Copies of this chain bind each other. A is one copy, B any other.
Amino acid sequence: MRKVLLAAGISLDGYIARPDGSFDFLFVPKGFSMEPFFRTIDAEIMGRKTYEASVKAGAKYGSKQCFVYSRSMPQGERDGVVFTRKSPAQLVAEIRKRKGKNISLAGGGEMAREFLKADLVDEIDLGVVPVLLGDGIPLFPAGFPQRNFALIENKTYSRGLIELKYRRVRRGGSRGKT
């Protein structure tokens, strides 16, 4: 089954960005590459703000399936992405109808919360930056039920970055339980 992966760089206090949306505190340490991760995915889901920030930063879409959550934009395919208002469960079920690689949740926190609510997050891959920001946009905003994970990998890089990988543990095989 195509897994749903949540990967993000975060501060030690759990923020993906400063209050104004900037993420200058993130860095790519020596020997770290997103390439191996990107090779395992061929579909991306993101929120509208993340999409607009990444387009501004020069991102091009079209090489893989990309879905953008937006209440304000008209639904449908444009500029290599599909704007959607479907529920996380509906969207993931639809993507999974076709065979393919894994599905990446590319941000931000509000979207992550909706996917955790629906218990659709299979793996979490965090790059923890050794800084307390003191305020910002959280990766895990409150408002979803408890979800248990297993630590499957950890790796330290230069400048104090540590990568932590977790896999969702669903007890008794039933979704919706911790």
Chain A interface residues (CB < 8 Å from chain B): 12-14, 25, 116, 124, 128, 130-136, 139-140, 142-151, 154, 156, 160-162, 164, 166, 178
Contact = CB atoms under 8 A, between A and B. Distances in A.
A170 to B, nearest CB: 13
Q: Which 10 A-B pairs have the closest CB atoms?
A: A151-B160, A13-B140, A134-B144, A135-B142, A130-B149, A132-B147, A14-B14, A130-B151, A131-B148, A150-B160
A14 B160 CA distance: 19
Contacts of A145: 134
A164 B166 contact: no
A130 B150 contact: yes
A147 B25 CA distance: 11
A133 to B, nearest CB: 6
B156 A156 contact: no
A166 B131 CA distance: 9
22 contacts: A12-B124, A12-B140, A13-B139, A13-B140, A14-B14, A14-B140, A130-B149, A130-B150, A130-B151, A130-B166, A131-B178, A132-B144, A132-B149, A133-B146, A134-B140, A134-B144, A134-B146, A134-B147, A135-B142, A151-B161, A151-B162, A154-B156
